Every structure is written in structure tokens, then in C-alpha cells.
Structure 1
Amino acid sequence: MIDQTRSPCAGCRTAALRRLTYAQAAAELHVEESWLRRHIRRLPHTKLGRVVYFTDDDLRRIDSLFHHEPATPAPAASTGQLVPLPSRRRRANAG
């Protein structure tokens, strides 16, 4: 007798595999679709024939490829005041 309550593959993932188009993947990553198309050779993706799609794992890998940490830590005691930048205008008598 077959047990109907168990899944046929006990070790398989139960979540369905999402296959996202360029437009859907771009929306998930908050980038332009054209950016994905330009960089497709460097990005993880799946291609079946001429159809390109992205899985959730591909999106996580793309995110980790372009993740950057700040090079310097933020100042510990910030006063919250803005400091003006020096003027970019040329001085009339410097020349």
C-alpha cells in the first residue's frame, strides 16, 4: 500500500522553482532590464534554446556579485552638521 500523505521525494525541495524573465528579474533586482541584457555574459542565468530566465538562486548570486561594503567606517561621533564644499568657480584675478 502506498502512503498518500508523504511526498514522492522526501528529500526534494517543496517550493516551486520560479523562472523569471528579464523584466521580472530586473524588477526584483531594482535595475533596468537593459542593464541585465548588457551584462548577461557575466551574470548567472539559465538558457533553454534562445529563452533566458533567472531563478531565485541566480538573483541571490547576482546580488552577491555586486554587493559592496563601505571602504571606511562611518565616523563614530557625527555632529549632524553639513560642511559646504569649496567653490568650483574660478576667481576673476587668478589666471
Structure 2
Amino acid sequence: MTRRHTYPQAAAVLSVDESWLRRHIKELPHTKLGRVVYFTDADLERIDALFHHEPSAGPLANATTPAPATTSHPLSHLRPLPSRRSAVLTG
């Protein structure tokens, strides 16, 4: 059976704040049953891959990287939202 993680458990696995998960839930893979939201291990792996960054400059940029997948990830177009604080200060 697939393990289900709650917000606090998923945040601990991903090393992020629980509030970050809650703010970005619409862009993240998850399962929702009624009001209950949970993340499977596969969801957490996809979230980690979604925000993975390889350096393009510097000493690690020359390291060999794995070959890219033939098809792009279905959520690869997603980007983190801008800071809410900057919108309040400029608005």
C-alpha cells in the first residue's frame, strides 16, 4: 500500500515549511479526498524533481549530467510564485 503523508510529514520530508506547501498546493501533485489533502511518495519525488536545479556556471557546471528525458515533465512549466511581500510593498 502506498504511504500517505500529511502536510507536516510532507514538509519534513521535503525540508520546507508547511505553509509553503499550503500556499503552492494548486501547483503541486497531491491527492484530495473531501477536505483531506495528502501526498504519496511518488508525489514527493515529483515535487523534488520539479524544483531541482543544475548549475549552469561554475565548477559543477562541467560535471556530467544525466541525459534529459525524451518528453518533458507534465509540470515542468510551473514556477514558484513571486513573493507576496513585494506585491504588498509595490501595490
* TM range, smaller chain: 0.5 to 0.7
Q: Does 1:45 align with 2:30?
A: yes
Q: What's the CA shift string for 1:53-94, capped at 9, x where partnerless? A: 00000000000000000011417xxxxxxxxxxxxxxxxxxx
Shift of 1:26: 0.2
Identity %: 72
Relative to the length of structure 1, the TM-score reads 0.61
Higher relative contact order (CA 8 A, sep 6+): 2
Give the aligned CA root-mean-square deviation in angstroms.
Answer: 1.2
Give 4+ residue runs of structure 1 displaced > 2 Å after superposition.
none
Q: 1:72 aligns with which of 42, 52, 57?
A: 57
Report matched runs for 1:79-90 at 5 Å.
none
For structure 1, the residue ranges without an aligned partner over 5 or more in a row are 1-15, 76-95
When you count strand as a share of all residues, which structure comes out higher?
2
When you count helix as a share of all residues, which structure comes out higher?
2
Relative to the length of structure 2, the TM-score reads 0.63
Q: Matched residue pairs, number?
A: 60
Which of structures 1 and 2 has the bigger CA Rg? 1
